[in-house]
Structure 1
Amino acid sequence: MKKIISLLTVLALLFSLTACGSKEAEPAAATPADSSTASETATSEDAANILKVQVEVEVASMDPQIATDGTSFEVMGAVTEGLYSVDAAGSPILAMAESVDKSEDGMSYTFHLRDANWSNGTPVTADDFVYAWKRLVDPATASEYSFIAEIAGIKNAAAIISGDAAVDELGAVAEDDKTLVVTLDFPVSYFESLMSFNSFFPVNEAFFTEKGDLFGTSPDTILANGPFKISAYEPAATTIELVKNEDYWDADAVKLDGIEYQVIKEAQQTMLAYQNGDIDIATLAGEQVEQFQADPEFHNIVAGYLWYISPNQTVAGLENVNLRKAIALAYDKSAIAKNILKDGSIAANFAVPTLLATGPDGKDYRETADTYLETDKALALEYYNTAKAELGVDEFSYTLIVEDTEASQNVAQFIQSEIQTTLPGMTVTIETMPKKNRVERMQDGDFELGLTRWGPDYADPMTYLDMWTTGSSNNYGFWSNADYDAIIQSAKNGELALDLDARWAGLKEAEKMVMDEAVIFPVYQRGNAVMIKGNVTGIEFHSVGINRIYKNAVKN
């Protein structure tokens, strides 16, 4: 295999309605001879075939039905495999399923599982999927991702989640150890692509029951059926170690001996580790991007993550749409992308990112959708004055909670300065914390403003727009609009779902409603500036679902 990093081009069509995008990392121009490159300073002391990966935040959960963050998804995806995985182009490919029979009406799938074992020697069975999926929709589990089963159209999922049907009524049945029959409430064209998502990963019931509350907290409480298995891990650990799973059904295709994840949040420390040869993959930030973008080991990856501020509308003042619009228009998003992040990120004047989905017209969603809440400080001040008159208040003070990564703190500080300058009398205080705590605070409604992000789980605008429906666990701001809810529900399984053109138009109308009411304050769509050692090939980058897949990675 040539020593050239082969990253993804825009993801191939997953289905006739939509397509998801990944960006191929083009090799940068050769570094001038008189400049110091990262590769020149790296050491060659590490002869082991272990891929060393830097991540910015800790793993929050190794429970597939509980995890919600990208880092957890990435690590979990290296050790666990569902019915499907995805190929380098992002298209679904059979994994634990060896074959599948589909009904002509798209309402039934019969999966025939391959012979495969868990890392404790127990066979992977259809019951493992049934048990996991019932956990996903069971209200007692309180999974934030329970909605994904409804999105997938699995029979009775919505009724079970709402408490109107028993868990055993879920449309997933194990006919025998190797045969899983899934029945849908309505056809879902992207059903197979959803089956590669973490929430649908299997769980062995006997093992889960044995480990109880300790499940997923240590190597002894985590089973693997994927390319790797956990050898060192504990909650909030800054180092996570994986070794090759020799019992994996496709072990011959796995060339790495293992993966070592290192949590490094500070950019300078990250780059020093990369230059010293302590890590093989590093994410750059700020001035580092300019410093190393001419290095042949530099790559720019377009990501699907949308970063935005969520205002808690139960907090005094933030229920006022004019105040929300004032804040959303008050900070320079282009300056954040170009002058602070410098990593290929773009200003977000939308709620649905670019390169996510292709419509029935064959065009990317953003090509034919409007833009919203573009920075306009003069207009922001007009909305602000209106809000002050409506609320009878001249001064406002809010706390913005952010996670403790360098990039998040830099962005938050810039936004703080911009808002306070643009809107006299408004004070913004920044509170930093680990990502897990920030997410928990926002889930509990214990915040005023929160800088957060969302990465797409599947290649359709619904993966974003569904978040802001009434009662959604991801609707951190507690916004509610019956007309919006009706559009989203119809686009899922109602009249709009039966007409692709009408559905697309309905989704655009829904996005307009979210933006017109400033339900969120968009900031930027993430770009990743990464350094990858020249002897590493085969890493697959995806903007949807699991963002990095290492099964086919090689370290020469």
Structure 2
Amino acid sequence: MRSVKKLKNVLVPLVAVLIFMGACEKQSGNPYLTEEYTNRHNNENVLNLTESSEIPTMDTVMQRDIVSGNVMNNVFEGLYRQGKDGEIVLGMAAEEPVITEDGLTYTFKIKEEAVWSNGEPVTAHDFVFAWRRLVDPETKGVGSHLIQDIVKNANAIISGELDSNELGATALDDKTLQVELTKPFTYFSNLLTLPVFFPQKEEFVMEMGYEYARSSETLLYNGPFVLKEWDGTGLSWVYEKNEQYWDRDSVNLNTINVDVVKETYTALNLYNNDLVDHIMLTGEFIELEKDHPELEYIPTSSVYYLKFNQNKDGEPTPLANENIRKALAKAIDKSGFVEKVLRNGSIEADGLVPERFAYDPETGTDFRKQNGYLMPYNRQEAVELFKKGLEELGVDKLSLEIIGDDTQVGRDSLVYLQKNLMDVFPELQINISNKPFYARLTADEEQNYDIQLAGWGADYADPINFLGLFTTNNGNNNTGFSSENYDALIADAESVEISPSQRWKLLLEAEKQLLNEGIIAPIYQEYKAVLQKDKVDGIIAHPVGAEYTYKWADIVQ
């Protein structure tokens, strides 16, 4: 292993790191940098990773975030998974499905050698059970929006009109799964790589009851790795090679350690002292490390934005006023945000659908460029809209709170937004609150916030994946926004009869409504600045869907 370049202006001796992080440990309960930690992370045949946040859930029907999705992608497997080059490859499916001429019925064969981590076979029944559980109104699966317009009867089940047994997914026998769609979908195989379409073993889920998926010990695994040492809320976990996995010979590593490290300073010192192998840089640390030979910039399809809560505890909030929302959205100096806070190559976002993501089916034009930049920074217009909004509300000042994650970039982001907005609006008091990732998601689900810095990473390359988030009944909406016109645009875009060009026009119109009414305030499309040791090979970064695949990761000395 070659020696890693140490930059004196950021490197501190290991003993200083231990002292510094020992203090952090007392405050947060984080176990890293004990003697056990350093011994474990000095193993040359183990991959050591960091994560910015805790795992919010390991129940696949409840997955809605990138952290959970990343873990699930590496310990579970659906009918398909993403391959080394971003292509869709067979997972639990033994072969490509038989598809009827009308494109509405798929018949899959499940691999004979596919088994759970306890040695029991993965069956078609496991897929049917998990998908029915996803759409069951009693479960309230937050990922149900991904299936509701795709699989036959899903919408009616979610709305309570039909029983979950009516879902268009049937186990013809133990190893044959038949799926009926509402209409042909060119991206159906892409969807099947996502956690909400993964199988679950009914007998095990029922046996675990309330405890199911609340720790690494109350789960069954059918992916490349099994999860270990996760207690449901902990700041570390371990991936161990799944010896029952059908393609175990392709899995190179026996152990991967993961620690939640929220401070970039801490992560960088761990990296420079060879205790972790892969980290993300933010803010000023990117400038400090800009000449590092192991620094790489990775584009993503994730867009970050402010969500405005229009209704709290059944009562309208000041953000129910359209002029107030639009004023706040137009007041954000996005150029300053990406240049001062992020510094990682991220670009300004003036729409919800990202750039270089989806293209007009007739002309090939980028959706973002075709629909224009809908919410640009305009301080003067923002001031005028805010004054008008205050008059409509009958008040002369406002006090609002912005919540965000308790990571380094989360804290820096809220500080910037607080100063930015209060500089533009003397009548506005902005308070900020940084929360652990799972706590922010809980606040979102309970609609218990004023303004929230949130984001969405694409599950598949279609604008509907972003725009569908804000229909009335989507579990990710949680803003109080409800529009019959918007719902109709999205529903019509998913209609069986519509042509691709007509669908495209409806999606363009839907985004315009969303932005013109100030329902959200897009800020940036994310790039990631990553340091990865030269000895590490085979970590696959995905621009859509799961963030990373570790199946082919290896340590090359």
Kindly state the Cα deviation for residue 381 of structure 1 after the two structures are TM-superposed: 0.5
Query: Is 309-318 or 202-211 further displaced after alignment?
Result: 309-318
- Residues 136 and 502 of structure 1: CA distance in aligned 2, closer, same or farther (over 3 Å): same
Kindly state the Cα deviation for residue 391 of structure 1 after the two structures are TM-superposed: 1.8
| Residue 131 (1) aligns with residue 139 (2) | no
**How many Å separate the matches in 1 of 2:324 and 2:358?**
32
Alignment of 1:312-461 (within 5 A): 312-314=309-311, 315-360=316-361, 361-461=363-463
Kindly state the Cα deviation for residue 316 of structure 1 after the two structures are TM-superposed: 2.8
CA shift digits 1:245-287 (9 cap, x unpaired): 1111111111111211110001101111111112111011111
The DSSP-based 3-state class of the residue aligned with 1:203 is: coil
Contact 1:41-1:275 at 8 Å conserved across structures? no
**How many Å separate the matches in 2 of 1:41 and 1:128?**
51
| Residue 87 (1) aligns with residue 87 (2) | no
The DSSP-based 3-state class of the residue aligned with 2:146 is: helix
Match of 1:534 in 2: 534
Kindly state the Cα deviation for residue 364 of structure 1 after the two structures are TM-superposed: 2.7
Kindly state the Cα deviation for residue 390 of structure 1 after the two structures are TM-superposed: 1.8
Q: Which runs of 5+ in 1 are unaligned?
A: 5-30
**How many Å separate the matches in 1 of 2:222 and 2:425?**
54
The DSSP-based 3-state class of the residue aligned with 1:450 is: strand
The DSSP-based 3-state class of the residue aligned with 1:54 is: strand
Match of 1:477 in 2: 479
Kindly state the Cα deviation for residue 384 of structure 1 after the two structures are TM-superposed: 1.1
Query: Is 163-172 or 472-481 further displaced after alignment?
Result: 472-481
Say how many residue pairs are matched: 524
Contact 1:457-1:544 at 8 Å conserved across structures? yes
Match of 2:519 in 1: 519
Kindly state the Cα deviation for residue 313 of structure 1 after the two structures are TM-superposed: 1.0
Among candidates 75, 85, 93, match of residue 97 of structure 1: 93
Kindly state the Cα deviation for residue 464 of structure 1 after the two structures are TM-superposed: 0.8
Match of 1:120 in 2: 118
CA shift digits 1:416-442 (9 cap, x unpaired): 111111012111101121111111111
Kindly state the Cα deviation for residue 319 of structure 1 after the two structures are TM-superposed: 1.1
**How many Å separate the matches in 2 of 1:492 and 1:461?**
12
Match of 1:140 in 2: 138
**How many Å separate the matches in 2 of 1:356 and 1:268?**
32
Q: Which has the higher contact order (CA 8 A, sep 6+)?
A: 1
Contact 2:11-2:269 at 8 Å conserved across structures? no
TM-score (norm 2): 0.91
The DSSP-based 3-state class of the residue aligned with 1:310 is: strand
Match of 2:194 in 1: 197
Kindly state the Cα deviation for residue 41 of structure 1 after the two structures are TM-superposed: 9.1
The DSSP-based 3-state class of the residue aligned with 2:443 is: helix
**How many Å separate the matches in 2 of 1:39 and 1:413?**
26
Query: Is 384-393 or 98-107 further displaced after alignment?
Result: 384-393
Kindly state the Cα deviation for residue 329 of structure 1 after the two structures are TM-superposed: 1.0
The DSSP-based 3-state class of the residue aligned with 1:306 is: strand
Q: Give percent identity, aligned residues only.
A: 37
The DSSP-based 3-state class of the residue aligned with 2:81 is: strand
**How many Å separate the matches in 1 of 2:512 and 2:84?**
34
Residue identity opposite 2:108 in structure 1: F
CA shift digits 1:401-457 (9 cap, x unpaired): 112111011111111111111012111101121111111111111111111111111
Contact 2:309-2:317 at 8 Å conserved across structures? no
TM-score (norm 1): 0.91
**How many Å separate the matches in 2 of 1:104 and 1:277?**
56
Contact 1:110-1:181 at 8 Å conserved across structures? yes
Match of 1:548 in 2: 548
Kindly state the Cα deviation for residue 142 of structure 1 after the two structures are TM-superposed: 0.5
Q: CA RMSD in A?
A: 2.1
CA shift digits 1:59-103 (9 cap, x unpaired): 011111112111111111111000000113322111100111111
Residue identity opposite 1:319 in structure 2: A
- Residues 35 and 72 of structure 1: CA distance in aligned 2, closer, same or farther (over 3 Å): closer
Structure 1 segments (4+ residues) deviating >4 Å:
33-45
Contact 1:91-1:193 at 8 Å conserved across structures? no
CA shift digits 1:318-341 (9 cap, x unpaired): 111111111111121111111111
- Residues 38 and 46 of structure 1: CA distance in aligned 2, closer, same or farther (over 3 Å): farther
Contact 1:37-1:292 at 8 Å conserved across structures? no
Contact 1:327-1:380 at 8 Å conserved across structures? yes
**How many Å separate the matches in 1 of 2:176 and 2:268?**
49
CA shift digits 1:187-211 (9 cap, x unpaired): 1111111000000010011111111
Match of 1:235 in 2: 232
**How many Å separate the matches in 2 of 1:251 and 1:525?**
36
Match of 1:7 in 2: none
**How many Å separate the matches in 2 of 1:529 and 1:345?**
9
Among candidates 269, 272, 278, match of residue 272 of structure 1: 269
Match of 1:211 in 2: 208
| Residue 75 (1) aligns with residue 46 (2) | no
Residue identity opposite 1:445 in structure 2: Q
Kindly state the Cα deviation for residue 38 of structure 1 after the two structures are TM-superposed: 9.1
CA shift digits 1:450-501 (9 cap, x unpaired): 1111111111100110111113221121111111111100111254xx3111
Among candidates 56, 63, 71, match of residue 59 of structure 2: 63
**How many Å separate the matches in 2 of 1:122 and 1:355?**
43
**How many Å separate the matches in 1 of 2:365 and 2:275?**
43
Contact 2:410-2:434 at 8 Å conserved across structures? no
Contact 1:471-1:478 at 8 Å conserved across structures? no
Contact 1:52-1:279 at 8 Å conserved across structures? yes
CA shift digits 1:336-357 (9 cap, x unpaired): 1111111111111111111322
